[in-house]
């Protein structure tokens, strides 16, 4: 686990005034990474870090020579249209860049340095984002016991949890080609597929009638592992650069019909969105929490358990999902909150997911994306999907700001995911937003 240092100090300030804005996501203690360019330009995508309301162009910064040694080498690895090369460098290089950027942006940096850095800044409002890496593989886990119980009760009310859930992190192999950045203006078409209506004797082919979101997080793999060589739990976080928000859009009617006996396919592969900014594990260090289980639950097997992980394996990321409907927009209303919870409630941690993924010898590569599965908490308002919130569609959710009801998503609905960390004695840091709008089916 990352030790705290001067870059985490709550008293640290940037010479860029907007970095101190109350409630902002990107103070100097954060320094997340993304790939972007100026909107509507023909320029090449490049790596960037966020500070206040600005994006710092890392390709342009590398050309200034302000950074030296490992920090400069790491900055150069971020200059291209994907961060795979930087991800492969590992935690020492990641930390060198973080410390180098911090020194350039901190209050008290020489005026000449500030002037050169200002030339590399662009307002975040003018950014167009690309995927932060060339994502070779995407795996989505299923690691919230609250989500598993809530959904399991809809199908198997007497036995909602599968026998293996409390013994290992469960996952399925997702579709990397349909991953997109959930930025302002992004939309996807309601999928077509096959479903079995209640009481019917034969399935029907139609547009999805039970379209859902899933409030998740994801994490990017840094250095990979050789085929046949598992990554031990104690080493797992050396292979994780950082985390993003993730929405695993789900066609529930298609999913529930097709997933016996093999699992999700068309119900999941039409679109998955992530937030543009990767918040590094270094930045998340102050918000680590113990990995804990009820005493009555089975303890993980030894390869998924150790003392250090029990002490600080979890991460307290506060999460919320909001819905912005056409009625919200026409009435000038702000989006209605659907759910709010914390990633600390997850039954399995990112390190355990990574150790489980590789225990059989599966080789991961820099830039691979791992989804955590839906994040749901122990109370009703913490459910991270409409299938839970509406009890499978039987009790539609009433939207606070318009009075509309939703059992599942309608065309024109925009789902907004947000995430942030805060606690006394430390600066608030955030993930920005992950957005997506449902467009009508094409079929």
Confidence (pLDDT) at 279: 98
Q: For the chain, what are the domain ranges?
A: 6-130, 138-439
* Residue 309 annotated as catalytic: no
| Torsion over CA: 357, 359, 360, 362 (sign) | positive
378 CB burial (10 A radius; 0-12, 13-18, 19+): exposed
E strand intervals along 372-421: 397-398, 405-406, 414-421
Task: Count CA atoms closer than 13 A to 334's CA, side-chain side.
Answer: 3
Confidence of residue 443 (pLDDT cuts 50, 70, 90): confident
Using the predicted structure, report yes or no on whether residue 1 has a pLDDT greater than 80.
no
Question: What is the reported pLDDT for 244?
Answer: 98
What is 138-439's CATH topology?
Fumarylacetoacetate hydrolase; domain 2 (3.90.850)
Alpha helices for 332-380 (secondary structure H) = 350-358
Residue count of the chain: 443
- Which residue(s) pair with 67 in the sheet? none
Q: Please tell me which residue in 147, 254, 328, 345 is annotated as part of the active site.
A: 147
* 60-107 pLDDT tens trace: 999 999 999 999 999 999 999 999 999 999 999 999 999 999 999 999
The three-state secondary structure class of 210 is coil
- Residue reference for tokens 């100097």: 28
What does DSSP say about strands 179-181 and 272-274: parallel, antiparallel, or unpaired?
parallel
pLDDT in the model for residue 249: 98
What dotted CATH number matches 6-130? 2.30.30.230
| 7's tokens | 């870059």
The dihedrals phi and psi of 42, each to the nearest 5 degrees, come to -105, 15
Residues of the chain by 3-state class (helix, strand, coil), percent to 5: 25, 25, 45
In eight-state DSSP terms, residue 307 is H
- Give the pair of three-digit tokens for residue 212: 């859902």
Region 135-153: what's the mean pLDDT?
96
Assess whether pLDDT exceeds 90 at residue 308: yes
pTM of structure:
0.97
Kindly report, residue by residue over 393-407, the tens digit of the pLDDT.
999 999 999 999 999
Helix axes 69-77, 91-105, angle to 10 degrees: 100
């Amino acid at each position: 686990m990352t030790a705290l240092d001067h870059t985490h100090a709550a008293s640290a300030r940037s010479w860029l005034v907007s970095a101190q804005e109350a409630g902002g996501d990107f103070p100097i203690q954060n320094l997340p990474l993304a790939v972007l360019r100026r909107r509507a330009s023909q320029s090449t995508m490049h790596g960037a870090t966020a500070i206040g309301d600005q994006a710092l162009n890392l390709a342009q910064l590398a050309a200034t020579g302000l950074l030296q040694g490992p920090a400069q080498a790491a900055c150069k690895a971020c200059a291209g249209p994907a961060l795979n090369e930087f991800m492969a460098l590992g935690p020492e290089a990641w930390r060198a860049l973080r410390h180098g950027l911090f020194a350039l942006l901190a209050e008290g940096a020489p005026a000449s340095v500030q002037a050169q850095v200002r030339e590399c800044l662009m307002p975040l409002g003018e950014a167009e984002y690309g995927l932060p890496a060339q994502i070779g593989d995407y795996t989505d886990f299923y690691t919230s016991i609250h989500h598993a119980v809530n959904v399991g009760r809809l199908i198997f009310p007497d036995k909602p949890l599968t026998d293996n859930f409390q013994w290992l992190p469960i996952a399925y192999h997702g579709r990397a080609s349909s991953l997109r950045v959930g930025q302002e203006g992004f939309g996807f078409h309601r999928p077509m597929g096959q479903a079995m209506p209640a009481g019917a004797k034969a399935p029907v082919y139609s547009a999805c009638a039970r379209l859902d979101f899933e409030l998740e997080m994801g994490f990017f793999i840094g250095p990979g592992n050789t085929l046949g060589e598992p990554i031990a739990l104690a080493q797992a976080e050396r292979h994780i650069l950082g985390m993003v928000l993730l929405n695993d859009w789900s066609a529930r009617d298609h999913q529930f019909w097709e997933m016996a006996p093999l699992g999700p396919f068309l119900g999941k592969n039409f679109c998955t969105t992530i937030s543009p900014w990767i918040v590094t594990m270094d930045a998340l260090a102050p918000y680590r929490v113990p990995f804990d289980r009820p005493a009555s639950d089975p303890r993980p097997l030894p390869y998924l358990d150790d003392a250090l992980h029990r002490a600080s394996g979890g991460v307290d990321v506060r999460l919320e999902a909001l819905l912005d409907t056409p009625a919200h927009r026409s009435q000038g209303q702000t989006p209605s909150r659907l759910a709010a919870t914390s990633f600390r409630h997850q039954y399995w941690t990112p390190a355990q997911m990574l150790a489980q993924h590789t225990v059989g010898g599966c080789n991961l590569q820099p830039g691979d994306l791992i989804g955590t599965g839906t994040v749901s908490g122990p109370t009703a308002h913490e459910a991270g999907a409409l299938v839970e919130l509406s009890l499978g569609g039987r009790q539609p959710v009433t939207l606070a700001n318009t009075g509309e009801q939703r059992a599942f998503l309608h065309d024109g609905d925009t789902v907004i995911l947000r995430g942030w960390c805060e606690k006394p004695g430390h600066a608030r840091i955030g993930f920005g937003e992950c957005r997506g709008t449902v467009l009508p089916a094409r079929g």
